[in-house]
A and B are shown apart, each in its own frame.
Chain A
């Protein structure tokens, strides 16, 4: 005899099929199979929400672990290197870090401006004695800002799904519960009996939906808060790095 939880247990003990032993009709599967189509739909949607939210949670945890490790390495490389080109060479192996994207955007913008300053973009005469200089520090700042924005989007991708799951899963479960109780009362009205044998199956069916909703929602709430906090930390690191990059560029390439 397979029993799911205490509420279901009450029905299963009362149901005549309980003596048939293991099988389809006595366990959770039997409970679900005997329930209404709407209740099955509720449980299916909650299952999907749970699958998605758990997948996102695990994936983002793995992603943040990778991001934080590579960011630390990238900052080490950046501060030990004397030239931007050395950092650029290391970027390929640290592609997961958002600082890589910020640095590459700034580096591309910086190179473009310096190329313009040297005058080799139009095929004109190159002045070898001229010191390369930035044409616009604001443009570089804007490029870094764009890159930081893109990286933030990458960090926060999929996280709102967790918030949505945390919000609506209990409500979906509640809906299934209410619907199950409606069906149970209909059964009471049809049989004209108030015995537990009539009331309990519908109630238990309904409570399974609530339990499933909470099962999906509780981890989603936890991981949403956890990931939001880690996103803020990485965002702060990105801003800090962008300002550092801007300072170095201004110091070395200002006219």
Chain B
């Protein structure tokens, strides 16, 4: 069984296309090309030999390489030989003689004669004592400027029973050193003070604080005219009885205090 067009198709598929002849021709052309390459005159496929001879000549500072051979063997030859070059010819300018350089000398230290200028007018020097200074005798504690909140306002010390109070107190102490100690004392006394008396009045109580902090010699220095007020103030001081010891910076053995109690309804 065969398709009608099969014979035709097979015949066309098997038809010789003539490649062999082309192969032969190609072989001939290649051989011709190789022959041309081999037999070509000089310079066709290479550099001219005369120019080429210089191509491989190496001059790396050493003596000049061979003129023939086109190649310089590097082995056994110093490639970095120092060659003295001929000195270049330069025009020599006529130059004036250069000045001699200054000698280097060590600087001689000159005597310093500068003096303070004399004042034109006589100034009398204030003595050190006049400036509030005194000679130091060693380390000592000095009162600073730091403010401590003692709960007491004004310059006086006192207790008031209302309002802002405390402005008219009296302090019978001479330059007491420690405001925080006073604040503690007032706080302790205030805790025991019954200030609600519905009467206006001022009581000054006098007492003495010993070195151990004990309160003695309590007495009403100036009464208010009301016995209740006087007693209340005195009782507050008496009830306190013991406060912290006097600070060490305080020099005396006891401290006399006149404490003002103000009653305001």
Contact = CB atoms under 8 A, between A and B. Distances in A.
B22 A147 contact: no
Contact of A58 (B22, B42, B46): B22
A196 B71 CA distance: 8
B47 to A, nearest CB: 7
Contact of B73 (A58, A112, A157, A196): A196
B22 A3 contact: no
Interface string A209-245: 0000000000000000000000000000000000000
Interface string B5-48: 10011001101011100110111011000000111101001110
A10 interface: yes
Contacts of A55: 19, 22-23, 25-27
Contacts of A63: 17
Interface residues of B, number: 36
A150 B4 CA distance: 15
Interface stretch (A102-110, A128-136, A180-188): A102-110
Contacts of B19: 55-56, 59, 158
B45 A4 contact: yes
Interface residues of A, number: 46
A25 interface: no
B8 A108 contact: yes
The prevalent SS among residues of A at the interface is helix
A58 B26 contact: yes
A6 B43 CA distance: 11
B260 to A, nearest CB: 116
Contact of B8 (A6, A52, A54, A105): A105
B42 to A, nearest CB: 7
A101 B12 contact: yes
Given A58-B22, A154-B17, A104 B8 contact: yes
B47 A153 contact: no
Interface of B: 3-5, 8-9, 12-13, 15, 17-19, 22-23, 25-27, 29-30, 37-40, 42, 45-47, 49, 52-53, 56, 69-71, 73-75
Interface of A: 1-6, 9-10, 13-14, 27-29, 47, 50-52, 54-56, 58-59, 62-63, 101, 104-106, 108-109, 111-112, 143, 146-147, 150-151, 153-154, 157-158, 193-197
Given A13-B71, A157-B17, 8 more contacts: A1-B49, A13-B53, A27-B38, A54-B29, A59-B18, A105-B5, A108-B4, A150-B12
